[in-house]
A and B are shown apart, each in its own frame.
Chain A
């Protein structure tokens, strides 16, 4: 589904990713872990097409297409979804309206009929229940006045509504209490299907207690320095990241 080869990216002239290689197949859950400043969020943002990052080398192939050649909205319509580390407030636009606009943009791209507000409300109510967001949150402006936990659950709600093929969760667990973490994890687990894939970017192993990854990768200094199964996450939790640094330096 996704093949990243030798990806290099920089922000404001400073290279952050120094050649990332990663392959994700349909049905898989991958976790990328790493210390602060290792480039985890940069990788997530580059995959979503954030304009602040410049790709300076490498290729990303998604479903056989050149992902890097697509505008952010085209990537979304093709099924790429990024759950933001810092979700953005949109004043004056209700959550319900925003979600319907987004879903309809994607449906239109796929040649499906757009949903009217009545049809949509049915879809939304069901999905909102799964992330334990009340109806009143649907009529509030997007993320405006939401608590940190509400914002993260709102990201997962968007994911549930838009049904992406490739979901990238950028530190969705940070700032969540244990109940909210379980809610998010349960929602993500329910969305797992053989034809979609999930990439979880996280600093902590905690979320992986509830979402079992098929592969765990360690990103340090802009490269993937180690890959393994779910047991690697536990090892990282016990030993930290420092033991991997010399290995990174030796590459």
Chain B
């Protein structure tokens, strides 16, 4: 048996054990969803670099490690260990998951406003089975990705956010997936479902973190559904352990006149692959993908985005900035589909990569598939060292060489943070960006 096939067999066996482990109590539709997931995973197997979609990203290190589902009695982090990963002074309500399992003791859901549901998926399956069933696993992400399929196969828990029609959630809701250092490498199939009904508004901060240096796999799927006129902002902060692997799918589907903002920020993990798909399935809808990745050492980031314009008069803006140092590598693939009939589409994509060392590398590829004739689509990508013109401009105003370099580098991160609407989060991320790019306190900002 080849290594990928043997690895796939490991997960198939784990799935049989999972089903025999009390998970069989799931309702029939969920059992069917899982069965579809494991079957799809079995068909696809782990991707290899022979596949166009995985050309630049080898999952060999993931395949080589037999990640196991965590046992019930694993370690649990103390509340103070989570502070660094939570928003200071905002977002009182939070769902915390340890190795993929809901941790009620670390969560806080008391006093949620009327019309707002934030609970574990396991609980939602009991309390609101029809609400969950209407949207869970309907994105179609499983069909395209072996990892997403595997996530669905092991679907048992996760985060569920539901905002009733016309309800505006005043504070951001926080979801934290944290991994602990376990004796054996574990996998967490993190799952999030966010539903904003008609004219609802919500901001969710979804964070991923792990014990420093721990080796584990996060295999995450987030589905976002925005109804007519709804507004959903998802801040996705990836701060995994540098020894960890992070594979994720984020899928949003939007109704008429809705707004979805997704802000994927990637700081952590040895290898991180994030597939983002935004389906603009309603006329007049608007979508923002605003991403930042900061790489150092041998970190590898891969963002594959698909913006699918299915209806007319919709707009999408996509900005991804990467700052790559050491031997790190950034891969960006931005596909924009404009379906027949999606006239008056306005789509803009940019991917800028700053290479701070000789060994850092970036690959950027736009992919436009336009089947309508009255559309505006622009894309642009840059990669290279700091712009000498910018440096001279700053020096000509009196800034020293080091300060000028720091300012331009920091600007790459600050540009992306500037589009975020939660001041506390922006300030927190600003601190992290400065620490990474300016080597500590720094002088910018």
Contact = CB atoms under 8 A, between A and B. Distances in A.
- Among A75, A76, A103, A106, chain B packs the most CB atoms within 10 A around the CB of A76
Interface residues of A, number: 31
B371 interface: no
Given A88-B390, A105-B403, A93 B444 contact: yes
Given A91-B415, A93-B414, A101 B403 contact: yes
Contacts of B412: 91-92
A72 B408 contact: no
A130 to B, nearest CB: 18
Contacts of A123: none
A90 B395 contact: no
Q: Chain B: interface secondary structure?
A: helix
Nearest to A104: B398
B389 interface: yes
B90 interface: no
A71 B401 CA distance: 10
B445 interface: yes
Given A50-B392, A92-B412, A105-B403, A97 B398 contact: no
Contact of A51 (B388, B400, B445): B388
A72 B396 contact: yes
B441 interface: no
Contacts of B394: 90, 98, 102
A222 interface: no
A77 B398 contact: yes
A175 B192 CA distance: 52
B398 A93 contact: no
B393 A73 contact: no
A48 B387 CA distance: 18
A94 to B, nearest CB: 8
Nearest to A103: B398
- Among B388, B389, B393, B416, chain A packs the most CB atoms within 10 A around the CB of B393
Interface in A31-81: 48-51, 71-73, 75-77, 81
A162 interface: yes
A203 to B, nearest CB: 22
Contacts of B403: 101, 105
A172 interface: no
B318 to A, nearest CB: 15
Given A73-B400, A102-B394, A109-B398, 15 more contacts: A49-B396, A76-B395, A81-B396, A84-B396, A88-B387, A88-B389, A89-B390, A90-B408, A92-B414, A92-B416, A92-B417, A93-B444, A97-B444, A101-B407, A102-B398
Interface of B: 352, 387-390, 392-401, 403-404, 407-408, 410-418, 443-445
Interface of A: 48-51, 71-73, 75-77, 81-82, 84, 87-93, 97-98, 101-103, 105-106, 109, 141, 158, 162
The 5 closest A-B pairs by CB, nearest first: A92-B411, A92-B415, A92-B414, A102-B397, A76-B398
12 contacts: A51-B392, A73-B399, A76-B396, A88-B389, A88-B393, A90-B393, A98-B397, A98-B407, A101-B403, A105-B400, A141-B411, A141-B418
